[in-house]
Chains A and B, each alone.
Chain A
Amino acid sequence: DIQMTQSPPSLSAAVGDRVTITCRASQNIRSYLNWYQQKSGKAPKLLISTASTLQGEAPSRFSGSGSGTDFTLTISSLQPEDFGTYSCQQSYMTPFTFGPGTRVDMK
């Protein structure tokens, strides 16, 4: 299986801060990397697919980058509704696997 790691496991940030979350795959997954946002008690919501494609109604302050094994999710200016847990997921091969998540809470 492809192992996904994320850093940091958690972070505290203030509204308006720029936030960066890193995801690393145990092998080359090209750009088959998705990002999800999950709020407490709710289902994950797709934010970004194929490493950098913003999905649906996701705000433009979210952006993704990377390819191969190293990926980044950036929130350019953190908003109150952005607090929650962010998880990466590789869709390069089954079994699809997720990172452990990065919890973003209020400083």
Chain B
Amino acid sequence: QMQLQESGPGLVKPSQTLSLTCTVSGGSVSSDTYYWTWIRQPAGKGLEWIGRVYSGGTTKYNPSLESRVTISVDTSKNEFSLNLDSVTAADTGVYYCARDLRWGAPHFDPWGQGTLVTVSS
């Protein structure tokens, strides 16, 4: 059964870059069946789709974050990553990675356990 696990710093200073990695086990990020997705959730608030990457490197981002976000995939390490530039306190929250179906009706399953990122000096 596929599992996803986020990793990265839990504290990032304002104006710096938030960098997270999602390691995939029990399956391959090289599969052409799936997109690999990042989603975040500020404390006490709803979920926000950040964007996705396909094994070939094609990406799609939320326009609200597009100027600051980069999602990439490393098939040799079976992982994908998120970089979010110029962070502010508004970027504080739990960040999840998830698998998304590439064909048919998209849906997120499974999810990583999530990692809390706090933006503070």
Residue numbers of A with Cβ under 8 A of B are 1, 31-32, 34, 36, 42-46, 49-50, 55-56, 87, 89, 91, 94-101
Which chain A residues border B49 with CB–CB below 8 Å?
94-98
Once the chains bind, are A45 and B106 in contact (CB under 8 Å)? no
Which chain A residues border B112 with CB–CB below 8 Å?
43
Which chain A residues border B46 with CB–CB below 8 Å?
87, 98-101
Give the complex CA separation of A25 and B60 in angstroms: 22
> B120 on the interface (CB 8 Å rule)?
no
Which chain A residues border B64 with CB–CB below 8 Å?
95
Given A87-B47, A96-B49, A55 contacting B109 (CB threshold 8 A): yes
Which chain B residues border A99 with CB–CB below 8 Å?
46
Which chain A residues border B107 with CB–CB below 8 Å?
34, 46, 49-50, 55, 89, 91
Interface centre among B45, B60, B108, B112 (most CB of A within 10 A): B108
Which chain A residues border B109 with CB–CB below 8 Å?
45-46, 55-56
Pair count A-B, CB < 8 A: 58
A-contact bits for B32-68, CB 8 A (1 contact / 0 none): 0000000000000111110000000000101110000
Once the chains bind, are A34 and B60 in contact (CB under 8 Å)? no
| CB closest residue in chain B, given A94 | B60
Interface of chain B, main secondary structure: loop
Given A49-B107, A95-B63, A43 contacting B48 (CB threshold 8 A): no
> B113 on the interface (CB 8 Å rule)?
yes
Which chain B residues border A34 with CB–CB below 8 Å?
107-108
Q: Which of A1, A32, A56, A100 contacts B105 (CB 8 A)?
A: A32
Give the complex CA separation of A49 and B109 in angstroms: 10
Q: Which of A1, A31, A46 contacts B108 (CB 8 A)?
A: A46
Which chain B residues border A46 with CB–CB below 8 Å?
107-110
Which chain B residues border A97 with CB–CB below 8 Å?
49
Which chain B residues border A94 with CB–CB below 8 Å?
49, 60, 62
Give the complex CA separation of A71 and B96 in angstroms: 25
Q: How far is the CB of B40 from chain A (nearest CB, A)?
A: 11
Q: How far is the CB of A66 from chain B (nearest CB, A)?
A: 14
